[in-house]
Amino acid sequence: MKITFLGQAGLFIETKYGSILCDPWFHPAYFASWFPFPSNEQIDRQKISNPTYLYVSHLHHDHYDPKFLREVVNKNTIVLLPDYPMNHLEQALRGLGFQHFVQTKNCTPFEQDGLRMMIYALTAPTDGPIGDSGLMVDDGEARIFNQNDSRPVDMDLLASHGPYDALFLQFSGAIWYPMVYKFPQAMKDTLSRKKRDNQMARALKYVTEIDAKYVVPSAGPPCFLDDDLFELNDFHRSDTNIFPDQTVFLEYMRDHGVNSGRLMLPDSVMTLANGECRVEHPVPDAEVNAIFTDKEGYLKAYQARQRGAIEAERASWPHGEVDVLPRLKEWFEPLMRQADVTAAGINGLIVLDLGSERICLDFHNRTVDVWDGGEWDYIFEIEHGLVEKCILNHYDDWVNELFLSCRFRAQRKGAYNEHIYNFFKCLSQERIQYLEGYLAEKAPVQDLWECDGYLVQRRCPHLKADLTRFGHVEDGILTCRMHGWQFDLETGRCLTSDDRHLFTRKIEGKLDEGKLGESSEQKQR
């Protein structure tokens, strides 16, 4: 098996049974705020234009590059579709001209002309743009798992499809928190340090659980070349920057006794054969090292080459073409009226401060109107032209278009509220109905486990991660290392968000191990 790294989560996998093009990303994403790091400008795109199969893990634009897919990739390519409850990915790819699809079944291996594959699909509203996935590929000589930036929760199931020769996974930040929040700098530094530590600890947990022979840190970080965002890059290995690069995570792995890491740059080629791994870089080692030891110089040169693309994107933002308030009122209010669970979860006032006008999304009364300058729970400060563009293009997922750009500032009262971002991810009737159904039909707590003197529900209330694997206790605080959410063991109170609660009960006397599988409801009878 030969694997060419394309940058970010992009892979071109070549086997004797055909090739797979995975998550190719070449054009600036999120209003030209994100660029691949290191640069993949040098890759010969025609060499990867005729794959046997195309795999797009999900619709985030650092995985789904519509311009490249439309203009370069052969439309006779067979598309491997994750088992998502909604067909947004298929619709998007059909819209680009692709016609041949294989609909997979979640976590079920399948064969295509001698090549054995499996897609692990995640379907919670918070997984990517309502969906994320990872791909297992086995050509009889090597088996890999391309986790990209998905976060599988059933590690036993995933391990049952191994052992794996190579794992490709995310290790770095890929979101706007906490940089965009208007917190005091000391508080922001503390939150950033905590997030950086947690994301690398989570990645290391996947490394040890999946236990592949070789590990390639991929799917991040992006780099930020716009002048307004340039300082978001981690130039000096700062412990308060959430975007550490590949060399930082490889060092982190070694510090924790894991020496299986391999560095790949765009156009690096990995060959897996007879249980061995060989990586060849497209440039001499001295040039490889210079990318990371003089990152600021490297990114300034990259920035100069891309300045035209950034300026063109900025010039495309409309100014005064859209009457925002009536358009948002017409669009959002019918969705808010359908969003019973979500509105109850938000339970407050969300202000869009666009400079020339300030608009309030009132989730008590489910109305959109002018903000009077009074009460608020969240404030988003966004350039007027960006919201106009979202309206003109009717983006039904502002998280995947606007918020990931980091081109906004935010304030909040109290804890993070996940329901707010879920709403902005579901700005269509189909999406809001899926979100409401998912929230309404959540399964009751079933399994309990013994944790530091308490019986605790096994699955994290956030995204159902297995706390027996991802839970870490210190000073009475249980941290789920999947996403960093924290809970007070004594009370079950969530310290990360006020809309979650963990079932806990202090163990009195000898524990009856035979009853650990009973539900909390049975325990209370």
The C-alpha atoms of residue 455 and residue 516 are separated, in whole angstroms, by 8
What is the rounded (10 degree) CA torsion for 253, 255, 258, 264? 40
Residue with tokens 């060419």: 4
Q: Is the pLDDT of residue 102 over 60?
A: yes
* The predicted structure's pLDDT at residue 512: 45
Please answer whether residues 136 and 118 qualify as being in contact, where contact means their C-beta atoms are separated by less than 8 angstroms: yes
Q: Which CATH architecture has domain 2-309?
A: 4-Layer Sandwich (3.60)
Q: Are 239 and 193 in contact (CB under 8 A)?
A: yes
Q: Where do the domains of the chain lie? A: 2-309, 324-440, 448-523
Report how far Cα 282 is from the mean position of its chain's Cα atoms. 28
Q: Is the pLDDT of residue 515 over 50?
A: no
With 0.75 as the threshold, say if the pTM is over it.
yes
The model's pLDDT over 414-431, given as tens digits with 9 standing for 90+, comes to 889 999 999 999 999 999
Q: How confident is the model at residue 130 (pLDDT cuts 50, 70, 90)?
A: confident
Q: Is 447 helix (H, G, I), strand (E, B) or coil?
A: coil
Which is it for strands 166-169 and 143-148: parallel, antiparallel or unpaired? parallel
* β-bridge pairing 214-217 and 166-169: parallel
Band (441; pLDDT cuts 50, 70, 90): low
Lowest mean pLDDT among 111-115, 204-208, 519-523: 519-523
pLDDT digits (tens, 9 = 90+) for 64-91: 999 999 999 999 999 999 999 889 999 9
Tokens of 492: 């079950």
Confidence of residue 445 (pLDDT cuts 50, 70, 90): very low
Reduced to 3 states (helix: H, G, I; strand: E, B; else coil), residue 515 is helix
Backbone φ, ψ for residue 349 (5° rounding): -115, 125
Q: Which residues are CB-contacts of 386 (< 8 A; sequence separation ≥ 6)? A: 31, 317, 402, 405, 407, 408
Residue 216 β-bridge partners: 168
Q: Are 410 and 380 in contact (CB under 8 A)?
A: yes
Query: Cα(286)–Cα(317) distance, rounded to whole angstroms?
Result: 41
What whole-number distance in Å separates Cα of residue 59 and Cα of residue 23? 10
Q: Give the chain's mean pLDDT.
A: 93
The winner for highest mean pLDDT among 75-79, 125-129, 150-154, 478-482 is: 75-79
Task: Write phi, then psi, for 182 (nearest 5 degrees).
Answer: -85, 60
Question: Is the distance from CB of 131 to CB of 58 less than 8 angstroms?
Answer: yes
Alpha-carbon span 345 to 342, nearest angstrom:
5
364 and 349 Cβ atoms separated by less than 8 Å = yes
CATH class, domain 448-523, is mainly beta
Measure Cα distances from 6 to 24, 166, 333, 360 in Å.
7, 16, 42, 43
Residue 435 phi, psi dihedral angles, 5° rounding? -60, -50
Instruction: Give the mean model confidence (pLDDT) for residues 17-40.
Output: 98
- Please tell me whether the peptide bond between 152 and the residue prior to it is cis, using omega within 30 degrees of 0: no
Query: Hey, what long-range contacts does 80-83 have (CB within 8 A, 24 or more apart)?
Result: 80/20, 80/53, 80/54, 80/55, 80/104, 80/117, 80/119, 80/135, 82/57, 82/58, 82/106, 82/119, 82/121, 82/131, 82/133, 83/119, 83/121
Torsion of CA 58, 471, 500, 154, to 10 degrees: 40
Report how far apart, in Å, the C-alpha atoms of 194 and of each of 150, 173, 242, 305 are.
21, 12, 9, 34
Identify the band that residue 468 occupies on the pLDDT scale cut at 50, 70 and 90: confident
**For residue 220, is pLDDT > 90?**
no
The reported pLDDT for the residue numbered 111 is 97
Question: Residues 130-148: what's their mean pLDDT?
Answer: 96
Token reading at 158: 């995933």
Contact at 8 Å (CB) between 411 and 182?
yes
State yes or no: cis peptide before 38, omega within 30 of 0.
yes
Name the band, by pLDDT with cuts 50, 70 and 90, for residue 509: low
Asked if the model's pLDDT at residue 181 lies above 80, the reply is: yes
Cα–Cα distance for residue pair 471/504, rounded to 1 Å: 14
Question: What is the pLDDT averaged over residues 373-400?
Answer: 97
Q: How many CA atoms lie within 13 A of 33 on its CB side?
A: 20
Structure tokens at 42: 């040098």
Which segment of 197-206, 249-258, 315-324, 442-451 scores lowest on mean pLDDT? 442-451
Lowest-confidence segment of 252-261, 327-336, 341-350 by average pLDDT: 341-350
- How are beta strands 100-103 and 78-81 bridged, if at all? parallel
The pairing of strands 358-362 and 349-353 is: antiparallel
Q: What is the 3-state secondary structure (H, E, C) of 295-362?
A: HHHHHHHHHHHHHHHHHHHHHCCCCCCCCHHHHHHHHHHHHHHHCHHHHHHHCCEEEEECCCCEEEEE
DSSP lists the bridge partners of residue 119 as 135
Q: What is the CATH number of domain 324-440?
A: 3.30.1050
345-374: average pLDDT: 97
Q: Say how far residue 321 (Cα) sits from the centre of its chain.
A: 33
